[in-house]
Structures are given as structure tokens and as C-alpha cells.
Amino acid sequence: MPREYNPFMVSSARGPNPGTSPGRAPRPRETRTFVDRITDGLKAEQLWSQFKADATSSYSLYRREIVTVDDQQPRHGHWEVVKEFFWAVLRKLTPVRRIMLLAGLIFTFLPIMQWRISGETYSVSMNVVGGLFLLALLILEIGDRVTMKRDLEIAREIQMWLIPDAPPKVEGLDIAFVNRPANTVAGDYYDVLLREGGTHAVMVVADVAGKSIPAGLLMATFQASLKTLLHHVSSLVELVRGVNEYCSAHSNGGRRFTTAVVAEYESASRTLTYVNAGHNIPMLLRADNRLERLDRGGLPFGIDATASYDVASVQLASGDVLLIYTDGLVEAVNERGDEYGDDRLLAILPTLRQYRAQEGVVALMNELNRFTGMAHQHDDITCLVVKVA
């Protein structure tokens, strides 16, 4: 009989692995160790939640390319949807990797190929060749992902330099903040800046339109313009006007706007002067449980360079609690798709009075975690809590 040769068949002359014997399955401890390494110790429900989050994110990415602009419904029939989905995937790859993907898919469905040379028969299992093409493609894509992840981590480190680790000491106030980015790089900004010898504190919470790297870059420019102007203007009106002019000059025609709350606290008079530039309305809970909303202001920064802004002032008193937050908090959803919403936030707001500010933001995030469960976070979440002593 002719000798059959498969170049993809590898044999080893080495003996069995230590701790195993021929025909014996791996021991339970070895199996558990292997599974833990693969899953990073995550439980089944955590893995399922992660898969659903990845699937939802990928579906949203590709769905934009397989729907019509008018009715946002899939075109024609299932076959058309499959074709457009396939082309959407191919467009995300380089030309070489498109060829690798196509070759891998085609070879996977081909039978064993045989040929004779000098009276000997050689054979190659084409589905193994196809699998190797797909494996090589996966390795290349993982390499790109690791490189991008490393770059994102560096960008995150740089971004963390721009925001404070802890708020400064402000006479009469207990301040704390928390930031939970949806991606490695966030588009939210928060800070408490002192000026005029520490008697005035400027509090800022901002949310740049968009996510990830583009939003993070704009956040950095917003922070730079704010800090530069802070040393050259004497009033909140001038500060807000200058920030809006800068944002309008770098907003890509108003498409990259920024919502923000900019407030200045004067410790001597306990007066808080603020501007709300299209941001979620901060909540001021008085000591007698009256709720005030800080809604005076104007358009988000970056839409109209000539926009005017209303400046309002409130008198703070002992026992008051102020909460400034971004929309990622109230728009967080649980696994059923329900939003956290204003009502739940209003329900927990009075309980913050029993904590110090830092403990309060922790309690707020714990309550949010209980609501969202294993649901994927879709937007950056930032909260600033101020308690008046």
C-alpha cells in the first residue's frame, strides 16, 4: 500500500506528562486549575454577563451598517442581512486579513486533498489548513488588541493626572467625588479648584459628548482651558464665557459639545454661585428636606460662541447636601433594561446626610450596584457630593 503522509500530523517521542498515566484523564485539581486560568476565576453568571455585554456591544457596532437610515430596519430579507453583516465584518479587517478569513472559511469546508508524487500518495486535511488560517488571523487580531489596550492604559494614566485624587480642604464644606468610566478612557471631568487665597472654591463637573478616546482628548482640552482662564479672570461670568468660546472653537461645528456645572463657593458668606451649561440638574437637599434644583444657566459649551449664561446664587446652610452628577448615573440600566432614574436617586439622597461625604458616595455607588447587578455600564458615571458643616 502507498505510504500516506500528513505534514500537519505531529507525533512526540516524549513520555506522558508528570502526574498522568496513559489513558488516564487529568486529575480534578489540574482541571480546576486549568479552568481557573481560562476564566480568571469568574463564576458562570459573571461569564454569561460578560458575554452578553460583548455581544450587545458588537451587535450595536455592526447593526449601524446593516440597517437603512430611514426606518432603522434590516433590509429585504435574512440573506441580505447575513451578506451585509459579513461585509461589515470584512470592512473592519485589513486586505491581507480579509484574504486570511476567506481562505480559512473556504478551506474549512473542503475535504482531504490527495496527490501522487513518484508513486507515493500525499494528503492534506484542508479543514486543518483552514483552522490554521483562522488561528493565525486570531493571533494577529489579539496582537492588535493588546497593543491598543496598552496605549489606552497609558492614555488613562495621563488622564488620571488631570483629575484630583482627593478634593482640597474647603472651610465649612465636606467634599467627595467618585468617577467610574465606562471604558478605559473617560469623557467626564471633575475638579475642585481653589483661588483667592483659598477663600473661593470653584467646583466643576463636566461631560463631553461621546465616549472613549475622542471624548477623553476633548476632556483634556476642556481642563486645560478652564485652569488657564481661572488665573486670568476674576468672576464666574468671565470664566464661563471664556470656556464656552474656547469649546466653540474646538467643537467640530458644535458636534463635540460639553455639558457642565461650574460653581464657585465663597466660604466667608457661604454663597454658592453657579452656571448650569446644559447639564443634569444638581440637587440641593436642605436641612429641612426641601429640595432645590440648580437649573439656571444656558446652552452646553461649544454650541454657540456668543451664547449668554444666567448666573444664579444660593445661600448654603449647615446640614445642606449638594449632589452634582453626570447622566451616566440616572441612565444606568439593570439587566431588564430599566433605568436607575431620578426617582431612585431622590429616594437615596436624604440618606447621604447620615454619612460623611466620602462614605456617602460609596453608599450611593453600592446602591447603584445593587440596582444594575451584572448589567453592562454604557456611560461614564461621575458624582460630586458636598455636605455643609
Which fold, 164-388?
Phosphatase 2c; domain 1 (3.60.40)
What pLDDT does residue 60 have? 67
- Grid coordinates belonging to 327: 447622566
- Grid coordinates belonging to 16: 506522558
Q: Give the Cβ contact number of residue 129 at 10 Å.
A: 19
Q: Rounded distance, CA 382 to CA 78, Å?
A: 42
Q: Rounded distance, CA 331 to CA 381, Å?
A: 9
Phi then psi for residue 118, to 5 deg, are 55, 40
Of 388, 264, 257, nearest to 316 by C-alpha is: 388
Find residue 193's DSSP bridge partners.
Answer: 202
Q: Rounded distance, CA 33 to CA 299, Å?
A: 56
Q: Rounded distance, CA 234 to CA 140, Å?
A: 55
What pLDDT does residue 8 have? 38
Residue 303: Cβ-neighbour burial (10 angstroms; 0-12, 13-18, 19+):
buried
What pLDDT does residue 199 have? 82
Q: Rounded distance, CA 4 to CA 282, Å?
A: 77
- Grid coordinates belonging to 87: 461585509
Is the sign of the CA dihedral 297, 200, 293, 372 positive or negative? positive
Q: What is the pLDDT along the chain (389 residues), one digit of tens a residue?
A: 444 444 434 334 444 454 455 555 556 777 777 777 787 777 887 777 777 777 776 766 666 666 544 444 545 567 777 777 788 888 888 899 989 999 998 988 888 888 888 878 888 888 888 899 999 999 998 888 888 788 778 777 777 777 888 889 999 999 999 999 887 777 899 999 998 777 889 999 999 887 777 788 888 888 889 999 988 888 999 999 999 999 998 877 767 899 999 999 999 899 999 999 999 999 999 999 999 999 999 999 999 999 999 999 999 999 999 999 999 999 999 988 899 999 999 999 999 998 999 999 999 999 999 999 888 888 899 999 999 98
- Grid coordinates belonging to 258: 460639553
Long-range contacts of 335-342 (CB under 8 A, 24+ apart): 335/49, 335/372, 335/373, 335/374, 335/375, 340/368, 340/371, 340/372
Q: Give the Cβ contact number of residue 185 at 10 Å.
A: 24
Sketch the domain layout of the chain as residue ranges: 4-8+25-156, 164-388
Three-state SS annotation for 161-210: HHCCCCCCCECCEEEEEEEECCCCCCCEEEEEEEECCCCEEEEEEEEECC
Q: How many CA atoms lie within 13 A of 261 on its CB side?
A: 28
Radius of gyration, alpha carbons of the chain: 29
